[in-house]
Amino acid sequence: LVLYRFFGQRPAVGVRMIAALVVLLTAGFVHATIQINHARKNAGDEKLIAEKLGQLQRAGTKTVLIKAEKPGGDLLWDSFYLFHGNCRFPVKPYTVDEMRGHPPMPPLIGACVARDFPVIRDIYPNVKVELVRAQFICWQVDTL
């Protein structure tokens, strides 16, 4: 109703409004396309990390995922790793704070984003990086 009044007042105002609307819609679609393409690349890289975790799993070795306090921008769900990694044993999510407070005892394998890896290296000095893809890191810690 408001748009109809703007269009009815002056032709120049209507043309400018239509042009602005077209620009905003186009920018929105471009932004959405970029976000979707970025997410696809991350999922492919993370799938390779999940597959590597599945290969590294052994009986008696804990599997951990270091996740952010707030979802988004880090690892996908545990079920993603169980499915794509073909994991035979449970996968336990930890936050960085939980790892600092009560780290699990080795042997363990895990995945995290590069931002969180220094914390893992501080807790487990003998950590060994198994695979790096984009910002994702798959690592392993043998018994001390």
| pLDDT 10s digits, 93-108 | 888 889 899 999 999 9
Query: Is the confidence at residue 88, as pLDDT, over 60?
Result: yes
> Is 0.75 surpassed by the pTM of this model?
no
What pLDDT, on the 0 to 100 scale, is given for residue 125? 93
Residues 6+ apart with CB under 8 A from 137: 49, 111, 112, 113, 114, 117, 129, 131
Q: 90: helix, coil or strand?
A: coil
| pLDDT 10s digits, 21-40 | 888 888 888 877 766 555 45
